[in-house]
Amino acid sequence: MEDKDKKKNVKKIIVYAVLLVLIMGIALGTGQIQTEELGRIFTVNAVAVCKLLLLLFLKSLIVWILGLIKPANHRARSVLSLLSSLTKYIAFLVILCAGLTILGVNMTTVIASVGVLALIVGFSAESLIADVVTGTFMLLENQYNVGDIVEVNGFRGTVTSIGIRTTCITDTGDNVKIINNSEMKNILNRSDNYSKAVCDISIPYETDLEKLESELPKLLESIYKAHEDTMKKVPVYVGVQALQDSGVLLRFVVEVSEKNIYSGMRILNHDLLLGFRKLGVECPFPQLDVHNK
């Protein structure tokens, strides 16, 4: 993804440069811009240019340093993500003002006009303001943090970054969904507590249920010891879930972290199937009995 973004940025710079050369060539050829005026445009203060380059370097350095910090705490990661986003926005505004000053624009006049411009922009960028305000309150209220697993409008994934305007959520397939902060409603934060992976497995009706239930604690203990990195506790036998057409459905649950809820389910299905076979219990399958008179 980063390589693609870099290539896109390089292509944009090349396109802008070509367009600039074409426009300047047409303007000079038609006499819209005189050579003397062009010279005055590119006659800039070397000290000001150095300051501008220094600002660009500092912005890149701060973002790079923030990217190197990888705290384990979700709250700290959220603050770092927000600081990185805020740094980019502030740097953009400062560099823009500095660049305009180098080109000879009177920033005092521009700043004096900000009051009128803010009123105009306020009506046209209502959603932008809502995104910023909502994002700030969500962070202050600690509703979710970077690294949390959340579910928003049916999309489930891990929060990878929190910005001034948007939040990025990545699912298990590495699909990234970018959601405006004002649209982050009815959030289900699944990282606050342990989750339960559920396994339903059938046994034939002719199985001695009482004997099987007496052997389950030892089997479940062995499954837990083999997968302590995934399971938080020993799996629990809940009981008979349903009486199906071809067998008796038993339910088991195990506590896992939210990120392991699906892997915990697969492990429990696999190990219970093998464990039941060692105990002489095969999982049933639909059968048809034909009776001839």
What is the SS3 assignment for 178?
strand
Q: What is the pLDDT of residue 220?
A: 92
C-beta neighbour count of 204 within 10 angstroms: 14
Let me know: does 286 contact 245? Beta carbons within 8 Å.
yes
Instruction: Give the chain's residues under pLDDT 70.
Output: 1-10, 12-13, 15-17, 19-21, 23-53, 66, 71-79, 98-129, 136, 139-141, 191-193, 286-289, 291, 293
pLDDT at 148: 80
Question: What pLDDT is recorded for position 2?
Answer: 46
Beta strands in the chain (DSSP E): 149-152, 155-162, 166-170, 176-180, 188-189, 195-203, 236-243, 248-256
How far is 158 from 171, CA to CA, in rounded Å? 6
d(Cα 31, Cα 67) in Å, to the nearest integer?
A: 49
**pLDDT digits 0-9 by tens, 269-283:** 999 999 999 888 888
The pTM assigned to this predicted structure is 0.48
Burial of 97 (0-12, 13-18, 19+ CB in 10 A): middle
